[in-house]
Amino acid sequence: MFVSKLKVFLGAAVVAASALVTPLEAKAGCGYASHYGYQDGYHGQITANGERFNTYALTAAHPYLPMGTRLRVSHKNRSIVVRINDRGPYAYGRTLDLSYAAFTALAPPSRGEISVCYSRV
């Protein structure tokens, strides 16, 4: 009896949790972005989708958007289009990890972290 009630409870929890995040419906958002791939050892490494990471390409890492999704990322009066090819960021409070090239198109790399808004293209 306890086990069946536990299964029902856990099943309801899984359904409730899946209602919180629906990756295919997440079309836009705002948050903080950082850059990676420049002098940190990631250039040339394999990304989550199996391709080699190129720090000079306009790419980004996002926790759950489908691989290959194109995003328009904006910071102040600048915007670029990036392609999701990796998972991350793993630092608390960040929404996107941009490649070095993508980040430098929006802000000086010395900033380290910038506020951005993004939407699916």
pTM of the model: 0.77
Q: Would you kindly state where each structural domain of the chain is located, as residue ranges?
A: 25-120
Peptide bond into 89 cis (omega under 30): yes
What is d(CA 10, CA 15) in angstroms, rounded to the nearest whole number? 9
Helices (H), 1-121: 2-20, 100-106
Class of domain 25-120: mainly beta
pLDDT in tens, the chain (121 residues): 544 554 444 454 433 443 444 555 568 999 999 999 888 889 999 999 999 999 999 999 999 999 999 999 999 999 999 999 999 999 999 999 999 999 999 999 999 999 999 999 9
